Structure 1
Amino acid sequence: MYYHASQVKNIKVLEPRISNHGIPLIYFSTKRENVLVYLSNAIQKYCRDTGFAWDGVWKKWGPYGFAKDGRQCIQEYYPDALAQTYKGVSGYIYYADSITDSGFEVKIPDAATSSQPVPVTGVEFVPDAYEAILEAEREGLIVIQRYDEMPEKMREWNERTIREEYMEAADHPEYRHFIRGCFPEIVKDLTD
């Protein structure tokens, strides 16, 4: 079984879209719990919640990695990131029995991609992505590293990375708006 998350209702056939990799793909996981993070994009939600208008391509925010045992590890890079991004957000997890693999290597455990349309064979409505993520944590399917538990070494990496991301995002004002709002102390001395 292949899983794909979306906020779009009533999809019957998943269609390839231009991806972060610059080619049209549909992304899937063979683990349902791994697609929960795609029910909301922190950048897009923050901008909408704060009234920042943007009609360009939204930068993606991938707040996760993988533990040594293969479980997805969602990381809070700023205080209350998980709740701010997912609480109250609903969406859909679409199922596909099979896909035509694109051959594109995404280097994400349990992920697959298709460059061909994929018929949907089932769908699950997720009323609250935050609650679904917490339930997956309780079931031991994912790990959540909360901001206040972040090791010092990771905090240092986070600060360096956020500063670099901000400087490299000159053509993405929505991303800079998100960074300024969620990481004010890290970028307070940087200017546009």
Structure 2
Amino acid sequence: MTFYHGSSIAGIAEIGAKSEINEREKAPVVYLTPNRAYALFYIRDLEVNFVTCGVTAAGYIRYDERFPDQLRMLYKGKSGYLYKCGESTDFKTTSTRGVWVTKNPVLVEGVEYIPDVYEEILKYEATGEVRVIRFETLTDGQKQDIFDMLVNYIYKNDMINQFTRKAEFYRNNFPDAWDYVVRHPDEKQTRIDEWNKRHRR
């Protein structure tokens, strides 16, 4: 089985363990997937790191837009690389479908240059292997859920007091949620508590 690792960085010969699995497991790991289409979405801006897709039980990739024209904005004209690796007994499955990890460095066995990630993703959308839920097709209720989620995220991570590419991304693409947080600083803990209760965290 071939595994893929998507990256915007050129010239990788060995993929090192850098990312964490989650907040509880701090040991660095290498992320891999046997799904070529899924790996494309990880050719991304690492400073922003905004990926809203996953492999469904039916086997296709569902990509959920959180703001208008998200897919095109994030990937159109973006180039990168799919690094190919052979299977290893070190690779372990995770709770996220289609994602494997290893704590050990992984030797690259091949690489494929992707000149335009957006156009490559659209090829998979045409075959049904990727299904994009575009923002304009969402109901008012679904858009409200996204607003609430973003308000919670901005509050929780104190984004309005950060001067980073990621903060700029949220300010530019989620202006309503951003403005709400700016105008209601006293609601921070209430909104976070409500969100946690709603999602049983």
Tell me, yes or no, whether TM beats 0.5: yes
Q: Of 90, 93, 103, which aligns to 1:101?
A: 90
Residue number in structure 1 paired with 2:193 = none
Residue number in structure 2 paired with 1:138 = 126
Deviations 1:77-125 (A, max 9, x none): 101111111011100001111234354x632212100111111111110
Which structure has the larger Rg?
Answer: 2
Deviating 4+ runs (over 4 angstroms): none
Contact 2:21-2:29 within 8 A present in 1 as well: no
CA pair 86-132 structure 1, distance change in 2 beyond 3 A: same
Amino acid at match of 1:108: T
Q: Say yes or no: does 1:126 pair with 2:114.
A: yes
Q: What is the aligned residue count? A: 176
In 1, the alpha carbon distance for the partners of 2:174 and 2:115 equals: 29
In 2, the alpha carbon distance for the partners of 1:150 and 1:181 equals: 20
Residue number in structure 1 paired with 2:104 = 116
Bigger mean CA offset, 176-185 vs 147-156: 147-156
Q: Say yes or no: does 1:84 pair with 2:64.
A: no
Amino acid at match of 1:116: N
Q: Of 28, 31, 35, which aligns to 2:39?
A: 35
Contact 2:5-2:31 within 8 A present in 1 as well: yes
Shift of 1:66: 3.9
Q: Say yes or no: does 1:188 pair with 2:179.
A: yes
Report the secondary structure of 1:188's partner residue.
helix
Return 5+ residue gaps in structure 2 as ranges: 186-201
Residue number in structure 2 paired with 1:48 = none
Return 5+ residue gaps in structure 1 as ranges: 45-57
Contact 2:147-2:177 within 8 A present in 1 as well: yes
When the two structures are superposed, what TM-score results if normalisation uses the length of structure 2? 0.79
Deviations 1:152-186 (A, max 9, x none): 33212211100001001226543332211101122
In 1, the alpha carbon distance for the partners of 2:145 and 2:27 equals: 30
Amino acid at match of 1:94: Y
In 2, the alpha carbon distance for the partners of 1:19 and 1:173 equals: 23
User: Which structure 2 residues correspond to residues 5-44 of structure 1 after superposition, within 5 A?
Assistant: 5-19=6-20, 21=22, 22-41=26-45
In 2, the alpha carbon distance for the partners of 1:67 and 1:155 equals: 22
Q: Say yes or no: does 1:152 pair with 2:156.
A: no
Q: What percent identity do the matched residue pairs reach?
A: 24
In 1, the alpha carbon distance for the partners of 2:91 and 2:118 equals: 31
In 1, the alpha carbon distance for the partners of 2:104 and 2:57 equals: 32
Amino acid at match of 2:72: A
When the two structures are superposed, what TM-score results if normalisation uses the length of structure 1? 0.83
